[in-house]
Amino acid sequence: MPVAKPESSDSRVIAHVDMDCFYVQVEQRKQPQLRGLPTAVVQYNEWKGGALIAVSYEARKFGVKRSMRGAEAKEVCPQIQLVQVPVARGKADLNGYRSAGSEVVSILSRRGRCERASIDEVYLDLTDAAETMLAENPPQSLEKIDEEALKSHILGLNNEDGSDIKENVRNWINRHSADHRDKLLACGILIVAELRMQVLKETEFTCSAGIAHNKMLAKLASGMNKPSQQTVVPSSSVNGLLNTLPIRKMKQLGGKLGISLQTDMGVNTVGDLLQFPEEKLQERYGVNTGTWLWNIARGISGEAVEGRLLPKSHGSGKTFTGPRALKTVPAVQHWLNQLCEELSERLCSDLDQNKRMAHTLTLHARAYKSSDSDSQKKFPSKSCPLRYGTAKIQEDAFNLFQAGLREYIGFYGVKTQGNHYSGWGITSLSVSASKIVPIPSGTCSIAKYFHGQSTSHFSSMQPLDNVNGEAMLLLPPGSECYSEVNSPKAEVDFPKEESWTEDTVPELDLQEQKVNFLKDEDLSSSLSKTQDGFTQDISPSLLSGTEACLEQSQNKQESDITKDEGQFKSEYNKERKGKRVKDKGTPSILELFKSYNPYPFGSSFSQELKKTAEGTDARLTIGLESKGHSLAEQSEVGKEKPMHCSSSGYGRDEGDGRREAWSYSIDEIDPSVIDELPPEIQDEIKAWVHPHKWRPNNTVRRGCKISHYFSPTKKS
DNA sequence: ACGGGTAAAACA
DNA sequence: TTGTTTTAC
């Protein structure tokens, strides 16, 4: 039931903020001597000096372009400074850029709903802020307007030559004759200018912005005057702007659709679209796309700014071009392990910092077959429920790969004899984690109880999509069936004569692997130097995956707490500065718990909790003191799994694996103490004990060293 | 066989 | 639901 929206909803104030050559800025902040110099970031690649992925504006003046090779860039700009993307585990490591992006988001989200559109872009809905400003402090009343705002570009404002441009801008912002919509945009100008200055002050990064009445126009505008400037699109300028705008410049039209519009419809500018009736466009491109095209031709775009500050998925991938294609299963497994390690680490950070867990693991690969030149695309992607813990992710990903490979080979029906190369090669691999939801679990309310306080600050980083967090309860382990893909040893058996197993790997490939391992060692040692050694210090074989994972993040927190790469970095550090002295002495969650009810749980649980609390004490304390999201919650939930992991043990999972896993911890709780807990906590406990109904776990059986600690049990 | 590594979303 | 395809930075 579409409801006609009130007119005001079309007078939104939307901004698109885009960081200027972001990766370059991140590197220049690390190495300030590079500031002002022509600089580019290159992705590690021996081949012709690597590929440029970001180019400073100084370098652009020399004609340096993204997607040039390093060598080419040197040709046109011999003095260019080339900075390599950090490498970890033999692949590009973008974490530094991600966390820098998070710093920016945490600032830009201060004035209104904020949507992280990419690692270096956000959309802001500043309607409320602008309306408030208009009501309380309209630009007309300001005697002084910020310098940055005066430098704005206002589309359609004709600056008569000889006139002072800033004066024109001032007049436009101040003019009383403006209609309501323009006044709102004027407020938007001031707000965005202020936000951009805050970004600069707090992060040293510059950015550009577009301010308009919808996302499409804001996005268009943000790219019009770079770097470090902002552009406004008053509605009176829209037609003129779109009329001559090349169709391919519109977002979504840079690819095949745009080409089709040009070649099939003769549409070269957005204005050209105007002549087509909606029905014609729908006829040619489908109802949705047709309507969308009809709308954008008129500058109409109703998409809301989603309140989302965090990515919806994480992925780690690498390509293996040409001669580097992976030709043996062990070689694939090795790289898969690297990718999964990175992914697992990022998932842990996300859990740690944002209280979210992913529920689906997907593997993508590309492969070629010598027999078929078009075989690149046909390697099927596969997914399965995601279990936390590096080793588990690695195992599952490998199983997904094998399932995919079996299909892929099936497609081509190529048989292999002996150790002979069968003709396939993997040219790219990636693993990703999706269906990320806020973790349930009640410690949120436990913390609330203990502090009689809200934890709603969380909305500052995770505004709207977190609402379901409360409603959701921690789902029990093993509640989801695993697809057969996860126990392929039983299901999938490849012909023995093929080179699946380590011992039949051709010698050449073993050598390749040795080389890879060597590289990795080099990397890990350098990594240790820069990251306090936490990365490689834990042997996943000694700890269960999740424990290793958790310990990693704990180590990180302890060893280098100010270097948090997290989403909350700046606020977190700010809080911390003020409270540093108190960190040591404040009671941990365990102490808090005890002070309310000494020994509420059986020994084992208690110990686990204690261990956790000790491990994360500093952080816990900060989290609880600051308005930080309850970290108790995190350690609780985080701890839940290793508890099953390590103690439920292998091989004793006949019957329902999940119930067993639960019974371990639940049984440790003396039921009588539950009644003594505060009602709110009781509810929590009950939720643990009587979680949602779930489907019996009927696929994962036997040899089930794989217990399913976290399963995305969707609906009930 | 080179624009790599990620992301999101529409669609089937 | 899972998997594919497109687009973009």
Q: Strands A39-43, A81-84: parallel, antiparallel or unpaired by DSSP?
A: parallel
Which contiguous run of DSSP H or E holds residue A570?
A: helix A569-579
pLDDT at A334: 94
Query: Residue A556 pLDDT more than 50?
Result: no
Q: How confident is the model over A510-525, as a mean pLDDT?
A: 32
pLDDT at A442: 62
Query: Residue A364 pLDDT more than 70?
Result: yes
Choose the weakest-confidence range: A185-199, A313-327, A360-374. A360-374
Rounded Cα gap, residues A592 and A581, in angstroms = 19
3-state helix, strand, coil in chain A (%, to 5): 50, 15, 35
Apex A472 CA angle, A612 and A2, nearest 5: 145
Half-sphere CA count of A427, side-chain side, radius 13 A: 15
Long-range CB contacts for residues A696-703, cutoff 8 Å, separation at least 24 = A696/A656, A697/A478, A697/A479, A697/A480, A697/A481, A697/A482, A697/A656, A697/A657, A697/A658, A698/A481, A699/A481, A699/A482, A699/A483, A699/A484, A699/A487, A700/A478, A700/A481, A700/A482, A700/A486, A700/A487, A700/A657, A703/A487, A703/A489, A703/A490
Nucleotide nearest to A43 (CA to C1'): B4
Is the alpha carbon torsion for A318, A323, A325, A328 positive or negative?
negative
pLDDT at A265: 94
Answer yes or no: is A435 CB < 7 A from strand B. no
pLDDT at A401: 95
pLDDT at A121: 96
Contacts with A490 (C-beta within 8 Å, 6 or more apart), sequence order: A484, A703
pLDDT at A644: 27
pLDDT at A678: 45
Task: Please name every residue paired with A116 in a beta bridge, in sequence order, or none if there are none.
Answer: A122
Query: Residue A538 pLDDT more than 70?
Result: no
Answer yes or no: is A710 CB < 7 A from strand B. no
Nucleotide nearest to A252 (CA to C1'): C7
Q: Cβ within 7 Å of strand B: which of A 15-54?
A: 43, 45, 47, 51, 53
Task: Let me know: does A12 contact A125? Beta carbons within 8 Å.
Answer: yes
Q: Cβ within 7 Å of strand B: which of A 410-429?
A: 427-428
Q: How confident is the model over A519-534, as a mean pLDDT?
A: 29
CA atom of A381 to C1′ atom of B12, Å:
15
Answer yes or no: is A373 CB < 7 A from strand B. no
CA atom of A318 to C1′ atom of B6, Å:
10
Answer yes or no: is A288 CB < 7 A from strand B. yes
Answer yes or no: is A289 CB < 7 A from strand B. yes
Q: How confident is the model over A496-520, as a mean pLDDT?
A: 32
Nearest protein residue to C7's C1' (by CA)? A252
Query: Residue A230 pLDDT more than 60?
Result: yes
Query: Residue A376 pLDDT more than 80?
Result: no
Per the model's pLDDT, the better-predicted residue between A706 and A121 turns out to be A121
**Domains of chain A, CATH where assigned:** 18-96 (3.40.1170.60), 244-297 (1.10.150.20), 314-444+482-515 (3.30.1490.100)
pLDDT at A595: 27
pLDDT at A89: 94
Per the model's pLDDT, the better-predicted residue between A691 and A365 turns out to be A365
CA atom of A208 to C1′ atom of C9, Å:
15
Rounded Cα gap, residues A297 and A679, in angstroms = 58
Burial class (CB in 10 A: 0-12, 13-18, 19+), A666: middle
Q: Cβ within 7 Å of strand B: which of A 230-249?
A: none
Q: What is the pLDDT of residues A244-282, one digit of tens each?
A: 999 999 999 999 999 999 999 999 999 999 999 999 999
CA atom of A404 to C1′ atom of B8, Å:
24
CB-contacts to strand C (7 A): A 118, 120-121, 250-258, 360, 362, 377, 380-385, 483, 714-715
CA atom of A121 to C1′ atom of C9, Å:
9
Burial class (CB in 10 A: 0-12, 13-18, 19+), A485: buried
Nucleotide nearest to A19 (CA to C1'): C9
The question of whether A103 is a catalytic residue gets the answer no
Nucleotide nearest to A260 (CA to C1'): C6
Task: Let me know: does A238 contact A225? Beta carbons within 8 Å.
Answer: no
Query: Residue A61 pLDDT more than 70?
Result: yes
CA atom of A358 to C1′ atom of B7, Å:
15
Given A121, A565, A636, A640, the catalytic residue: A121
Rounded Cα gap, residues A302 and A288, in angstroms = 13
Query: Residue A149 pLDDT more than 70?
Result: yes
Query: Residue A184 pLDDT more than 60?
Result: yes
Answer yes or no: is A312 CB < 7 A from strand B. yes
CA atom of A116 to C1′ atom of B9, Å:
15
Q: How confident is the model over A487-500, as a mean pLDDT?
A: 34
Task: Let me know: does A104 contact A199? Beta carbons within 8 Å.
Answer: yes
Q: What is the pLDDT of residues A305-318, one digit of tens each?
A: 999 999 999 999 99
Per the model's pLDDT, the better-predicted residue between A478 and A383 turns out to be A383
pLDDT at A366: 93
pLDDT at A424: 87
Q: What is the pLDDT of residues A2-17, one digit of tens each?
A: 333 344 457 999 999 9
pLDDT at A419: 54
CA atom of A408 to C1′ atom of B8, Å:
26
Q: How confident is the model over A571-575, as a mean pLDDT?
A: 29
Nucleotide nearest to A46 (CA to C1'): B2
- Considering only CA atoms, which of A201, A208, A211, A200 is closest in space to residue A130? A211
- Considering only CA atoms, which of A645, A669, A86 is closest in space to residue A388? A645
Burial class (CB in 10 A: 0-12, 13-18, 19+), A50: buried
Nucleotide nearest to A363 (CA to C1'): C3
- What is the DSSP code string of A238-256? HHHHHHTSBGGGSTT-SSH
pLDDT at A378: 82
**Mean of all residue pLDDT scores within chain A:** 68
Query: Residue A144 pLDDT more than 50?
Result: yes
CA atom of A70 to C1′ atom of B4, Å:
14
State phi, psi for A406 to the nearest 5 degrees.
-60, -45
pLDDT at A326: 93
Is the alpha carbon torsion for A271, A274, A278, A284 positive or negative?
negative
Task: Let me know: does A368 contact A375? Beta carbons within 8 Å.
Answer: yes
Residue A38 preceded by cis peptide, ω within 30? no
Choose the weakest-confidence range: A69-83, A250-264, A428-442, A624-638. A624-638
Rounded Cα gap, residues A365 and A378, in angstroms = 9
Per the model's pLDDT, the better-predicted residue between A613 and A117 turns out to be A117
Nucleotide nearest to A407 (CA to C1'): C3
Per the model's pLDDT, the better-predicted residue between A360 and A543 turns out to be A360
Share of chain A above pLDDT 90, in %: 51
Token pair recorded at residue A514: 């040795």
Instruction: State which nucleotides on strand B lie below 7 Å from a protein beta carbon.
Output: 1-11
Task: Let me know: does A230 contact A192? Beta carbons within 8 Å.
Answer: yes
Q: pLDDT band at A423, cuts 50/70/90?
A: confident
pLDDT at A525: 29
